[in-house]
Amino acid sequence: MPEEQSQTTMAVDELQAIIQRCQILEESDFRGEDFNLFQVAGQKCLEDGYAAQLLEVIQNEKNKVIIKNMGWNLISPLVRCILAYKQEDDKQEHCLKILDQLVQLCNPKELFLGLLEQIEQTSGEQVCPTVMLLLQPLQTVLLKLQNKKAYSVGLSLAMIMNQLTPLPVPYTKQQIQEDKLGLCRCCNAVVDFAKPFVNEVVKNMEKSSEYNDMELKEELLKFCMKSLKYPLLTAHLEQLEGIEEHPFRHFATEIIDILQDIRELMPLVFIHHKGRRSYWENQEFEDIERKNSADSLACLSYLMFVQHFGINCFPMVFSPSYLLQCNMTHIEVLLNRTEESMLSKGLDLFESCLLRMEDNSLSHQYLEFRDFINVPQDLVKVMTLCPMEYLRKKSLNMLQLFIDKFDAEGKYTLFRCLLKTSNHAGVQGYIIQKIKDQIHLSLTKAHDNVWFTGHHLISLLDLVLFLPEGAETDLLQNSDRIMASLNLLRYLVIKDCESENQTGVWTILAKIEKNFLKPLHVGLNMSKAHYEAEIKNKRENRRDANNSNTVCSLTVSEEKMPAMTTEMQLQHLPNWTVFHYVGFCHCHFVTNSICTRLGSHLRGKKNITSNQIFQIAILLEEAITYLDLIDEIKTP
């Protein structure tokens, strides 16, 4: 007999010997040694490829009691063999039949623990195949449990989601189609796994309106909340061309349906995440739960108000301003994240809420809510710090849309807030331009707008027409703000003549001169002197370099590179800085001219002639042109 056949016969014989010895024992007489011998012999049969013989042993009616008590020990080697064999292999088919027999015969409690242990121990690329393999057996076992079913269902769902969470979520169309790790298929399989338990809750709720067994319902709610955070918060949920059924959109639909079935959808949509009941005594754990809950609720709002999942059951009785108020917390949560998918969801949710509203319809009183102040500040952060251009542009558009929705007092309050909280000159310049637009509307409309004329405007101009650090302000760094301020001042003295003085600008000339024009004039002269000195030093250094024989040496990895001559150094010296200095100096001359011209007219309180207005406009246009040029050349 060949050696391999002898080994196989020995493995099967060992199993048969153990079975025969246990057949004559009562169930209560089984010892730990018997369990170990059965597990070792069964595992050897599986690993040697003789699952068919093991299947015969398990199917034998005489061995029913033995398999009931000992069979669950075979789960671990059985799972390994199933995943190792190819799908068309007869050995895999035998292993699957063994698994099915174990589910039917084994003690449900012990088998439940064995299945859960296998899910817990899997990792990496084996997570999704293992979970999908064991979902059906696990579901069958859970349905058999009589005691602690809700706890066991919750433990199973939590274990499965914890194993899936470390896996990367497919984001692009190609990644979703490939589904390399099987996450898309696995997520939808988990929903099918949960459906019998959802149906059980629904059935019990239909029987009694005072359904008090909340444990299973609570476990299903936890599963939905985890699913909203992962994978749905990260997933790309827009409909993709070429994908007939988007797996994550389907998963989102199923999660929303579960929430609707267990009557938790509407309460979640309108609950503030900080008001949810906590089960933790430890503050750290409570903070983690609150954050996870906030992410989940933000995703839920996105699904409903942007993707319109579950919108058919949403009551259409709420005002757009109330819906905006309910969603501002969720928008803030999303905008505080740095991931592209979450930022885009936050901006989309904000846009969806704002587009429901008419311009000038949002009361200034909403700015008393913290979220209405925090969100525009978060938009500014995205505008200035986000590396993705399309998100920066969309943030700017959302800020403009948000401003448009407020009444005049709301716009005024928001402008003051942004001017005080933003340290970015570009953003400040943008806000100043928006202030100018509101002043223009106030001066051209038939009815007066008290918030952008008179003493209210004067208070706002105090924040606009001043230099943060006086004459020592970095004029290049603050050029956007300074030019916007000059542009606004030019507009005011041209549009609002001294005799009418609707804006009140003519009554604060001395303050403007002291806080803005004089420091700017001094700062321009200081900058001019500084850059002229820099240019002079450059030229002198160049002359010294031409007269010097000094060379530059370089060592790389302890190896001395060939020396660079002075001519080579000069050839590779970046000359953009010279253009930077010259351009900025010229820009200062132009801006200085504007400053001087405006100052002279304001000090004399003269009416500006059309020719003088034209000259000021030309100078300002030149200054802006030079600033744009500097922005292009100042970065090497």
Tens-place pLDDT, residues 433-472: 999 999 999 988 766 678 999 899 999 999 999 888 888 8
Which of 101-110, 299-308, 558-567 shows the lowest per-residue confidence on average (mean pLDDT)?
558-567
> Which two three-digit tokens encode residue 123?
């990792």
599 Cβ neighbours under 8 A, 6+ residues apart? 513, 517, 518, 521
267 Cβ neighbours under 8 A, 6+ residues apart? none
Tens-place pLDDT, residues 590-629: 555 555 655 555 555 545 454 544 554 555 555 555 455 4
pLDDT of 315 reads: 84
pLDDT of 471 reads: 83
Q: Give the pLDDT mean for 175-196.
A: 96
- Tell me, rounded to whole angstroms, the distance of Cα 626 from its chain centroid: 38
**pLDDT score of 347 more than 90:** yes
Q: Give the pLDDT mean for 226-242.
A: 93
Which of 183-197, 254-268, 274-288, 337-351 shows the lowest per-residue confidence on average (mean pLDDT)?
274-288
> If pLDDT is split at 50, 70 and 90, which confidence band does 235 have?
very high
Tens-place pLDDT, residues 190-206: 999 999 999 999 998 88
> Which two three-digit tokens encode residue 134?
């064991």
Which of 54-68, 120-134, 413-427 shows the lowest per-residue confidence on average (mean pLDDT)?
54-68
**pLDDT score of 636 more than 50:** no
> Which two three-digit tokens encode residue 434?
């928006």
> Taking the domains of the chain in order of start, what are their residue ranges?
1-106, 407-544+568-633
CA distance 623 to 593: 10
- Tell me, rounded to whole angstroms, the distance of Cα 592 from its chain centroid: 45
Q: Which residue has the higher pLDDT, 109 or 529?
A: 109
> Which two three-digit tokens encode residue 17?
């010997």
Which of 78-92, 113-127, 343-357 shows the lowest per-residue confidence on average (mean pLDDT)?
78-92
Cα 501 to Cα 490, 603, 614, distances in angstroms: 14, 16, 21
Name residue 3's amino acid: E
pLDDT of 234 reads: 95
pLDDT of 586 reads: 45
**pLDDT exceeding 90 applies to what percent of the chain?**
49
Q: Which residue has the higher pLDDT, 391 or 533?
A: 391
**pLDDT score of 361 more than 50:** yes
Nearest by Cα to 505 from 464, 463, 458, 437: 458
Cis peptide before 231 (omega within 30 of 0): yes
CA distance 148 to 160: 18
Which of 91-100, 515-524, 567-576, 591-600 shows the lowest per-residue confidence on average (mean pLDDT)?
567-576
Q: Give the pLDDT mean for 151-166.
A: 97
CA distance 54 to 33: 20
Nearest by Cα to 99 from 134, 49, 61: 134
Highest mean pLDDT among 137-151, 494-508, 513-527: 137-151
Tens-place pLDDT, residues 42-94: 888 888 887 888 898 889 888 888 888 788 888 999 999 999 987 767 888 99
**pLDDT score of 171 more than 50:** yes
**pLDDT score of 635 more than 50:** no
Handedness of CA 553, 554, 555, 559 (dihedral sign): negative
**pLDDT score of 210 more than 90:** no
pLDDT of 448 reads: 62
Which of 39-43, 91-95, 560-564 shows the lowest per-residue confidence on average (mean pLDDT)?
560-564
CA distance 126 to 36: 27
Summary mean pLDDT of the chain? 82
CA distance 224 to 157: 10
CA distance 552 to 563: 6
Q: Which residue has the higher pLDDT, 250 or 541?
A: 250
Name residue 7's amino acid: Q
Is residue 330 within 8 A of residue 298, CB to CB? The reply is yes
**pLDDT score of 240 more than 70:** yes
CB atoms inside a 10 Å sphere around CB 407: 17
CA distance 546 to 535: 17
pLDDT of 36 reads: 72
Q: Give the pLDDT mean for 122-150.
A: 94
CA distance 476 to 524: 10
Got the DSSP string for 88-141? T-HHHHHHHHHHHHHHHHS-HHHHHHHHHHHHHH--GGGHHHHHHHHHHHHHHH
User: 3-state SS string over 564-578?
Assistant: ECHHHHHHHCCCHHH
CB atoms inside a 10 Å sphere around CB 243: 12
Q: What is the largest distance, in Å, between two alpha-carbon atoms of the chain?
A: 120
pLDDT of 478 reads: 86
Q: What is the pTM (predicted TM-score) of this model?
A: 0.82
Is residue 309 within 8 A of residue 303, CB to CB? The reply is yes
**pLDDT score of 513 more than 90:** no
CA distance 468 to 485: 13
Is residue 343 within 8 A of residue 337, CB to CB? The reply is yes
pLDDT of 598 reads: 56
Q: Give the pLDDT mean for 208-224.
A: 82
